Structure 1
Amino acid sequence: MDRSVTSVTSGNGSLPVKLSPSNLRPIAYRILSKKHGLNIKTDALSLLTEVISFKYGFDWKGVHSQQFIEEIAKIWKLEDRGIFIDGPGLKQVIREINNKTESSTASRSSSTETEGIVAGRSDTIVDNNESEEQSLNWEDFFKFINPSDQTPCKFDKQRKQFTLTPHGRHDKKTLTDSLNNYLQSSIELFNNRYNLLYDRLSRNENFQKTSYSSISSISRTMNHLTSEITLIKNVLGRDGSKFILFGLLSKGANDEYVLEDSSDYIELNLSQAYKTQGSFYFPGMFVIVEGIYSASGGLSSNRSDYIGGCFHVSNIGHPPAERREISNENYGYPDFLGIHKQSGDMVLKVNKALRKKLVSLERSLHHHKFIFLGSECNLDNFKILDGLKKFFNRLENSIIESNDEDIPLALVLTGSFSSKPLTGTSSTIASVTNSELYKGYFDDLSTLVSQFPNVVQKVKFVLIPGKNDPWQSSYSLGSSNSNYFPQTSIPRLFVNRLERLLPKGHLILSWNPTRINYLSQEIVILKDELISKFKRNDIIFESDLQLEKELVKLDESPERINHLISQEQTEHISPKIKQARKLVKTLLDQGHLQPFLKELKLVNPDYDYALRIEPLPTVLILHDENFDNFEITYNGCKVINITKLVSPTNRKLNFVEYTPCHKKFDFKELYF
């Protein structure tokens, strides 16, 4: 047995004895199961028996032995490890107890042992009183986090919590390992999304499973049953019955719509389906469908590998998003952004005391702000360079006039930084020339910025790539659909002059997407043409066509004037805002930045966890140059879009200032 697990000596000096798991099972059951609601697995019981035998010897039934098991139960529940105690997890908990015993006095109170940040080792469990006395440095909680820096984790449907991904990129050693890991990640990509969304739905009061003990009549039972989600495998053989299903919407070999969950798949008939308004629908999304199962019909009934049947959908909708604080509370406030060092196979948690201190500190920093410039900062466009010169001049004067109190924490510039993709050619000379041209664009930016010494010395520059930036543009040819996502940062060899100009650490080369951890806030930045993809692939239902026909008839009838007056009185929302709300609701309901099949977006499965927006971030900043600026709040998540930096039709530079203490965005324009 691992010596580090059994190294703690008992206070009574008893000699070890040989116990079997059956000897310890009654005591473990009484303490772990009856008292704390935990279940110990066979491998964990064997480990616990061996530790108790070595540690307490003939006193294995005594008070100290039972206190030891109590301590295990408390730490297990404190770390939100689930209701099943397994061997590897128990080994980590015992090591924690060993480390604490070796490094602290026996008189330390139990309350001290259960305060602080929960982790897989004892040095991250700190005394709360000591923590309260320490003042926080806000810079320790302000970080730009690329997908490669983010904690690789997935949702464990058994434990109902997040665990570190064992097959992440950081564990790869050989080419074979890389290929195996890639294949495993590809297989699990949609399974992980399904499990997480299904868990969210299980907490939604509209989809709670029936509690038969509280049902007093058959009619009430039927009403409850209609709101339950049924697995696809359980509808087979129940011809003509009504169900609610949840799964991945995709297309089959015959171009038919298919719904797939963890148990099976079934063909959908959408001819009579009515969609929940205010959302987009297309393959690649997880949807809730209500309808009737038919054992016959459908295009796939004659296939040998298909059990058969068709599901006639009457209503279709999205899994409703959940507020950030509710999700975090259910998952124990996980540290997804890696503020704290990870240990073991668990994702660390942030304790309540620290969260309160971060929020309090955040509200006191009134002068902090971020500046986000519009996207498509094409440095090969002289018009854009003119606009940037005017902007930097204004920023320089603002810093001087405010005596350094109006310095942004970061200035975020978003690509593409070239109006044309950097492409390789058959000619080596031409290829070198293309690279030199691209590097020259950033050299020009360096020359421009060098004219403003206060901006150079005091402002951090963040560069986020677009579809024309290297190296992806060399094979995608500037196509957003062909870009491998997430997109890695711009190589340093192109920006070395700008890096030399700025102080050390003031040039941040970010991925797309990237995240900012600012004290208690999580800010996600994404550059993509989402609205056009959503609109282009949106399913047109028969009910939509019927509605269009009714509107056409209404146009030709005398009732049109009355209808328009009534509509004007009840609705004052522009079509652009309606589209923006539709985009935001769809994206946040799906809990993912790229809810597409691989035919529409190539996603690197090793980094799929970095595209997850579940729990919802505090702020989501979109850079879609094909859509206007907007600001929408949905389920507590503030979502904005920043359009192009400079429009081709005018000389107006678009940018946004964000004040995190107030969570306020200020859209600004600068004419030049």
Structure 2
Amino acid sequence: MGAGAEDPIPSSSPAFATPARPFRLPRGHAPPTKTSILPILLPPATLRPVAFRTFTRKHNLTISSSALQTLAVFIGKNCGSGWREEGLAEKALDEVAKIWKRAGGGVIVEEGKGASLKVILQTLESGMSGGRVVAGKGNSQDGPGRTSSLGVDAGRMDTSNDHSQGSLTMRAGDMDEDESKLSFHPRHWLKVVDAFDLPRLTYNVDKKYFEALKSKPTLFPPPSRKSALFRDRYNLVYQRLLRNESFQSSLGVAGMPSLQRSSSNLGMQQSYKLTPIANLLGRSGTSHLLLGLLSISPTGDLSLVDLTGTVALDLSHARMIPEDGAWFAPGMIVLVDGIYEEEEMVQGSLLGGNHGVGGAIGGHFVGVSICGPPCERRDISLGTGSRQASGDVSSSGGFGWVDFLGTGSERAQGARMRRLQEKCLRGVPESTESTARLKVAILNEVNLDNMKTLDALRKVFSTYNDLALSERPQTFILIGNFVQKAIINGGGRAGSIEYKEYFDSLAVVLSDFPALLQHSTFVFVPGDNDPWASSFSTGAATTIPRQPIPELFTSRIRRAFDTANSELDRSQTSEPAGDALWTSNPARLSWFGPVHDIAIFRDDISGRLRRTAINTRPDEDESNDAMQETLDEATNDAVSVAPELEQPSGTKSNGTSPAASMARKLVKTILDQGTMSPFPLQLRPVLWDHASAVQLYPLPTALVLADAEAAPFCMTYEGCHVMNPGRLLPQGDVQAVKWIEFDVLRNRGRVKEERY
């Protein structure tokens, strides 16, 4: 009875079917009050201002119309009539936005954009009471170190139809527990991405965002895909150009008639303004800045093309900016500053009958200066230039949510992968050899039909085989052409047998170094002379991207790796077995997801640029204008050349060696264009449905531009480290072998040379 007297709720008679000992509440807690919600029908247009304020202004997200409709139904059902007066809708939408970003969703809130909005709402609904999100009932909690039942990693999130059965089970607090089960060997996080496996992305001008192509790729697409190839390139360069500070107009600054820059840093910065070609009509004698594609008209004259029209181009008096610092060839997108001159007899001219949008306009455009579109750094493209205090990457102003390689976006996987990288390297001592196990040996033009090549490979492999395990490269990249001539073409069965024998001889050389096969990954990238593309190209430029070398010719090499791995007991180590991977050309290598992105492309691109580049006659009396100063300064600040290229002998007047000048010119041309193949399709054919595989946007962390006709170099431009291994056997030196050793963590390479 004493205990019953202390009860705040006394027992009732058994006739009322109440328990003798009722459920007690802790002292100081009042019984919970149940709040009922009367659902309402909330129109999406009424909810739009609150959703815009929460998603766009607060979280830098864009909400689609279908997602707004879904949220309107959710708010009307769970928040009722108090959605606006009591602020229930804004709090619920804020929670949805936080969960969406943690779940790896894209910058556009839409079903299937990296996360499932329906699953998020279903899980959040179970944790709401009275229109409010109740802590501890399945909802997330803000603040570092707190658990969140909705914090889903994008790489683990299931987007199938079984979301409601508990696919959202990964918690932020369980991250360390899950990562403890992973392998912390660096080579485990190496992924070779085939060009045909890359996400096929296109830039949507209306949404200002990248979206995946839903059509199935084919080798025989409709003709509209060809025009879409160049249109996508133009839109990509155009949006990149408008993000440049030189093309962003500020308040109080009027459009400038010509390219000028304030002489004082304290002065008002003046911006450049682009003019569509169609808007040149009726504006004869005025100066404009055009962005367009260099092309050859049916009459054989040089012309400039954009999305609005075509105009004849006169570059006889134009000067290149920077002077002799880049190539300009048909197929490239360029900036041309000049004066439009309309023909006197427009109606009687050849081009006078095809005016307006989409056609060639009369007259011609006299170029004063020509340059490539300014390059954009990787961190600016991804929006990772500024990080928050918590370490999260801001998604504003970039494409950090886009998964360009299929390994996870920077926003969804970047922080986690950097944490894994630190764990993988935690046991490595901090010394000059601390990154030795993250080095890559890059060998180009490995002609197996030359017996001296096998001797050179044996020298390179023996050099690394004599080193300690921690000092050997974890990856060897062997790049073709693996034969000097396209012997497969017209060779019939004998040609195939001969080609396979070359790889069999390489397998014999590799078998002499089992330690390298057991602890390294070998990546093989084909050239234009390798099968089967050479069967149809007769040694000329093949279509890109091109498939890997068929397994028919590589069986002996795979057998050599299997034999070497079988001799090593891996029960006591987490290191993955050595492997040989045959990939496409071009290809991508990814370390730790989006942290390290290495692009590889085999092409004699410098020779093609020299053959097709246009020549202009610079005006010797013209003074150095503002655009020349701006781009020269930007180039000098952005480019850093490896010491191997700075040779005192044979240098120019400015102290730069011819090899370094050629390297600067090649690197600036390719990276400014943002593509590995800035040529017309008749010079370098590109598969229309896989054109996004040759794009260089955003810039990779490193680019292997394997050009056998150019001297070896290592150079950094706008944060992208570009390397050219040159030839494995330099021409004119029969006793030397050259290759590049690339340090992944430091993002630096150096040319190595050995005598044998």
Shorter chain as normaliser: what TM range? 0.7 to 0.9
The CA deviation string for residues 529-587 of structure 1, in whole angstroms up to 9 with x for no partner, is: 0111111111111228999xxxxxxxxxxxxxxxxxxx989621122211111111111
How far apart, CA to CA, are the structure 1 residues paired with 2:339 and 2:666? 29
How far apart, CA to CA, are the structure 1 residues paired with 2:335 and 2:675? 16
Picking from 266, 269, 279, the partner of 2:326 is: 279
Change (3 A) 1:436 1:266: same
- Conservation of the 8 A alpha-carbon contact between 1:411 and 1:460: yes
Matched, 1:502 2:502: no
Query: 1:658 — aligned with what?
Result: 742
- Can you give the 5+ residue segments of structure 2 that lack an aligned partner in the other structure? 1-33, 128-135, 263-268, 384-397, 429-433, 563-576, 623-649
Q: Secondary structure at the match of 1:645?
A: coil
The CA deviation string for residues 435-490 of structure 1, in whole angstroms up to 9 with x for no partner, is: 1111111112112222333233333221111111000000111112xx01112110
How far apart, CA to CA, are the structure 2 residues paired with 1:220 and 1:185? 36
The CA deviation string for residues 276-307 of structure 1, in whole angstroms up to 9 with x for no partner, is: 12010111111111112223269753343534
Query: 1:560 — aligned with what?
Result: none
The CA deviation string for residues 122-157 of structure 1, in whole angstroms up to 9 with x for no partner, is: 968965555467467334532111112322222233
Query: 2:279 — aligned with what?
Result: 234
How far apart, CA to CA, are the structure 2 residues paired with 1:32 and 1:147? 35
Change (3 A) 1:546 1:602: farther
Q: Secondary structure at the match of 1:349?
A: helix
- Conservation of the 8 A alpha-carbon contact between 2:110 and 2:117: no
- Conservation of the 8 A alpha-carbon contact between 1:646 and 1:653: yes
Query: 1:456 — aligned with what?
Result: 517
Change (3 A) 1:102 1:496: farther
Change (3 A) 1:30 1:271: closer
What is the deviation of 1:638?
A: 1.4
Picking from 396, 399, 403, the partner of 1:335 is: 403
Picking from 589, 610, 621, the partner of 2:704 is: 621
The worse-fitting range, judged by mean Cα deviation, of 195-204 and 28-37 is: 28-37
How far apart, CA to CA, are the structure 1 residues paired with 2:681 and 2:255? 48
How far apart, CA to CA, are the structure 2 residues paired with 1:380 and 1:217? 60
- Conservation of the 8 A alpha-carbon contact between 1:81 and 1:159: no
Query: 1:95 — aligned with what?
Result: 119
Q: Secondary structure at the match of 1:617?
A: coil
How far apart, CA to CA, are the structure 1 residues paired with 2:60 and 2:724? 47
Q: Secondary structure at the match of 2:492?
A: helix
Query: 2:459 — aligned with what?
Result: 390
Amino acid at match of 1:108: S
How far apart, CA to CA, are the structure 1 residues paired with 2:505 and 2:748? 33
Amino acid at match of 1:318: G
Query: 2:643 — aligned with what?
Result: none
Picking from 478, 493, 504, the partner of 2:539 is: 478
Alignment of 1:315-330 (within 5 A): 315-329=369-383, 330=398
Q: Secondary structure at the match of 2:588?
A: strand
The worse-fitting range, judged by mean Cα deviation, of 39-48 and 629-638 is: 39-48
How far apart, CA to CA, are the structure 1 residues paired with 2:749 and 2:259? 48
Q: Secondary structure at the match of 2:470?
A: coil
What is the deviation of 1:249?
A: 1.3
Picking from 512, 530, 539, the partner of 1:469 is: 530
- Conservation of the 8 A alpha-carbon contact between 1:293 and 1:311: yes
Query: 1:344 — aligned with what?
Result: none
What is the deviation of 1:393?
A: 3.2
Q: Secondary structure at the match of 2:739?
A: strand
Picking from 404, 407, 416, the partner of 1:354 is: 416
Amino acid at match of 1:514: A
Amino acid at match of 1:208: Q
Q: Secondary structure at the match of 2:679?
A: coil
Query: 1:8 — aligned with what?
Result: none
Query: 2:335 — aligned with what?
Result: 288
Query: 1:643 — aligned with what?
Result: 726
How far apart, CA to CA, are the structure 2 residues paired with 1:187 and 1:115? 42
Amino acid at match of 2:400: G
More helix by share: 1
Question: May I ask how many residue pairs the two structures share in their alignment?
Answer: 617
- Conservation of the 8 A alpha-carbon contact between 2:284 and 2:342: yes
Alignment of 1:108-187 (within 5 A): 108-111=140-143, 130-131=174-175, 134=179, 137=184, 138-169=186-217, 179-180=220-221, 183-187=223-227
Picking from 672, 675, 688, the partner of 1:592 is: 675
The worse-fitting range, judged by mean Cα deviation, of 309-318 and 283-292 is: 309-318
Query: 1:250 — aligned with what?
Result: 295
The CA deviation string for residues 223-262 of structure 1, in whole angstroms up to 9 with x for no partner, is: 9777212222333222222211112111111122222223
Q: Secondary structure at the match of 1:600?
A: coil
How far apart, CA to CA, are the structure 2 residues paired with 1:143 and 1:89? 23
Amino acid at match of 2:419: K
The worse-fitting range, judged by mean Cα deviation, of 238-247 and 382-391 is: 382-391
Change (3 A) 1:222 1:450: closer
Change (3 A) 1:15 1:457: same
What is the deviation of 1:30?
A: 6.5
Change (3 A) 1:73 1:325: same
- Can you give the 5+ residue segments of structure 1 that lack an aligned partner in the other structure? 1-10, 173-177, 341-346, 548-566
Picking from 581, 586, 589, the partner of 1:513 is: 586
Change (3 A) 1:594 1:168: farther
Larger radius of gyration: 2
Alignment of 1:568-607 (within 5 A): 571-607=654-690
How far apart, CA to CA, are the structure 1 residues paired with 2:286 and 2:495? 63
**Identical-residue share of aligned pairs (%):** 30
Amino acid at match of 2:723: I
Normalization by structure 1: what TM-score? 0.81
Q: Secondary structure at the match of 1:462?
A: strand
- Conservation of the 8 A alpha-carbon contact between 2:105 and 2:115: no
Amino acid at match of 2:711: D
Query: 1:309 — aligned with what?
Result: 363
Picking from 81, 88, 91, the partner of 1:67 is: 91
The worse-fitting range, judged by mean Cα deviation, of 646-655 and 632-641 is: 646-655
Change (3 A) 1:532 1:280: same
How far apart, CA to CA, are the structure 2 residues paired with 1:335 and 1:90? 9
- Conservation of the 8 A alpha-carbon contact between 2:651 and 2:657: no
Amino acid at match of 2:202: K
Amino acid at match of 2:701: T
Change (3 A) 1:237 1:126: farther
Q: Secondary structure at the match of 1:434?
A: helix
Amino acid at match of 2:351: S
